[in-house]
A and B are shown apart, each in its own frame.
Chain A
């Protein structure tokens, strides 16, 4: 309820008025879970922009996977992250803890959620896709039937760059790619995902910089 209200009053208006997202490939957007959305991460607005793409009735099911150490650090942010943003918290630093750090994410998938994952692990260079971490490969090896949808955002790094607090409005572009399937091998899958992302990125750069001229 809170999340739907937040989406209606904040996420949708911000995305509509402050950003204005031009979406290509909307037909690939999953409208039911379980599914995983993979996106490049340049700004806190990425999550807002991704959430805004979904219709209100399923927004409760869309949950960003986020670092527990960053978002659960103080009481207010923690409340916001868990109840409003609806994050699935992951311990970034708990390497020694082993693979069960993914348990919350797997549970969310079993619950029919659409997970949002930024595999770069942190906000990277604007309009670029940095090196991806392997977490998503682990998730897929456990839940191999989950479709993975790559999304590339172009322009959000300009609206709210890392380290800035002032949002400056710009029109942005979103490119959604075809869903990817797990093929039984983590390395193979990560390569396929990296290729899909870089294809979306080069499409973004060509389309945006010389729009059918």
Chain B
């Protein structure tokens, strides 16, 4: 297979990620031994699933454009499928849903041929105008607005938003000599996931005042602030190795990812609260569904993309 050129920094990045996970695995194994009275099976499961997520992510970014587009397209498809499986849909819309699914391969095809113009308007304009028409041809008026609103929102979050992560891989690599074609995505995904973990740890350690009690009772101001600070520090430290961002630009990128990650997280929480489910699915043992893991990324991917795109591409 035609492998993409993998810059030295990217090789190091994956070694660091593997190392961090190995440490997490060892710590969890130690905990199981040291405190047999407590149940760590959930933590063990979570870490085991992290290994699989990292393996899929490595497959998505390290080979070539075709593999990237297929893997990220399938991830997007699974997220959209999970979304449609938990939200109420009308039986009459069976064929409309089929068309909505069809938007996924088309959107990722624009990514594959790197056609930015269509990539950026296909779902917000063409799909947005087409799906209601398809619904009207079926002729079910009852619940029309709710049905079309639900469908378009899901496509925007799970397909349009996430496809930005894929488009980063097809941006011209020569603009980013340090990180190559895959540097930006690794930077984005790493910051987003670390932000989740950091918010959790800061919140557990120092959190008192709840930040959005109705939507996410476990989120605290301390967790939020600590998360954003940690993410920003890491963003500044890692930027020279993986991105074309200057120091001040990376400061902005860190704050952006911290804030957006938090908003994405609570937005999916609000969705789950509204529907009345705890997890969006059960695809990722120990994490819940795929949307439970991708929640922050649905916000950080498009926002970080346009931030970098505006500054450098």
Contact = CB atoms under 8 A, between A and B. Distances in A.
Interface stretch (A67-75, A91-99, A102-110, A161-169): A161-169
B85 A168 contact: no
Contacts of A168: 94, 97-98, 101
Given A20-B283, A22-B282, A161-B91, A169 B277 contact: no
Nearest to A159: B94
Nearest to B74: A17
Interface string A93-131: 000000000000000000000000000000000100000
B85 A171 contact: yes
A160 B101 CA distance: 15
B95 interface: yes
B164 to A, nearest CB: 23
B137 to A, nearest CB: 15
Given A155-B85, A168-B97, A169-B101, A211 B279 contact: yes
Interface in A44-64: none
Given A20-B283, A171-B81, A171-B82, A164 B276 contact: no
Interface residues of A, number: 19
B197 to A, nearest CB: 24
A212 interface: yes
B264 interface: no
Interface string A140-166: 000000000000000100100100101
Contacts of A171: 81-82, 85, 281, 283
B278 A169 contact: no
A158 B98 CA distance: 12
B277 A161 contact: no
A209 B277 CA distance: 7
A210 B91 CA distance: 21
A158 B90 CA distance: 10
B89 interface: yes
B89 A158 contact: yes
A82 B82 CA distance: 35
Q: Would you call the interface of chain B mostly helix, strand, loop, or mixed?
A: helix
Interface residues of B, number: 21
Interface in B185-203: none
B120 interface: no
A76 interface: no
Nearest to B279: A211
Given A168-B98, A168-B101, A210 B277 contact: yes
A59 B78 CA distance: 27
A213 B91 contact: no
Interface string B32-75: 00000000000000000000000000000000000000000010
A166 B278 contact: no
Contacts of A209: 276
Given A211-B278, A213-B277, A166 B98 contact: yes
A155 B86 CA distance: 11
Given A158-B89, A164-B94, A170 B278 contact: no
A166 B279 contact: no
A22 B280 CA distance: 13
Interface in A1-50: 17, 20, 22
Nearest to B78: A20
A34 to B, nearest CB: 32
B225 interface: no
B84 interface: yes
A164 B92 CA distance: 11
Nearest to A164: B94
Contacts of B283: 20, 171
7 contacts: A155-B85, A161-B94, A166-B95, A166-B98, A169-B101, A171-B81, A213-B278
For the complex of A and B, the 3 pairs showing the least CB-CB separation, nearest first, are A171-B85, A170-B85, A213-B278
Interface of A: 17, 20, 22, 126, 155, 158, 161, 164, 166, 168-172, 209-213
Given A158-B89, A166-B98, 17 more contacts: A20-B81, A155-B85, A158-B91, A166-B94, A166-B95, A168-B94, A169-B77, A169-B81, A169-B84, A169-B101, A170-B81, A170-B85, A172-B85, A209-B276, A211-B278, A211-B279, A213-B278
